[in-house]
Chains A and B, each alone.
Chain A
Amino acid sequence: TQLLEQSPQFLSIQEGENLTVYCNSSSVFSSLQWYRQEPGEGPVLLVTVVTGGEVKKLKRLTFQFGDARKDSSLHITAAQPGDTGLYLCAGPAGSWGKLQFGAGTQVVVTP
């Protein structure tokens, strides 16, 4: 089983601060996806990283895929209350079409 471990489980910060959340595995993944889930909604894809060492930016969000493709990080610069949500990483888990999710990091940004 390819486990995806996310840390920290919970992060509470003030508006304007920076934060980083992590997604780690002992297995190599061909790609990793990051989703954000807001209360009462389904997860929504933010980004897919495919190449080892890849860095992708989405406005104030920076995603990095580890060189060995076993880990990924999400860095948010100058967090805003709208960044509040559950951040989930996910990767293909071997079986046809199966996407495995990490347990998520709950981020709360207060004004």
Chain B
Amino acid sequence: DTAVSQTPKYLVTQMGNDKSIKCEQNLGHDTMYWYKQDSKKFLKIMFSYNNKELIINETVPNRFSPKSPDKAHLNLHINSLELGDSAVYFCASSLAGGPNTGELFFGEGSRLTVL
């Protein structure tokens, strides 16, 4: 069983479109994250949710809207896609959050290409 699964794995779309990426974890973790990995492989946190509540919002444009229907799911919706949004988006989860975040478990990533 995949611990953290995200769909789709690949997304190719035109500028201006809206797209969503879904993430589910079956580890029973309390905290989930979205990270963006750019073309230089730099991983940057975007959002963090703990028990469905938004905890971290790292100065991400309003076009990005995360939603956590329950603590096992964290989805990412992106409006009005721009060329610069092209990246690999990783969902992750951890047992706890805060100063003792511990190990992050990552999904396989969703590669978004905006044309």
Interface positions of A (Cβ within 8 A of B)? 30, 33, 35, 37, 40-45, 48, 86, 88, 90, 92, 95-101, 103-104, 106
Contact = CB atoms under 8 A, between A and B. Distances in A.
B45 A42 contact: no
Contacts of B85: none
Contact of A97 (B40, B41, B56): B56
A99 B42 contact: no
Contact of B92 (A33, A37, A42): A42
Given A42-B109, A45-B103, A103-B40, 8 more contacts: A30-B99, A33-B104, A42-B92, A42-B108, A90-B104, A92-B101, A97-B33, A101-B43
A43 B44 CA distance: 13
Contact of A33 (B55, B98, B103, B109): B103
Contacts, number: 65
Given A96-B97, A99-B101, A40 B41 contact: no
A42 B106 contact: yes
Contacts of A96: 48, 55-56, 97-99
A22 B92 CA distance: 25
Given A42-B4, A44-B106, A98-B48, A104 B98 contact: no
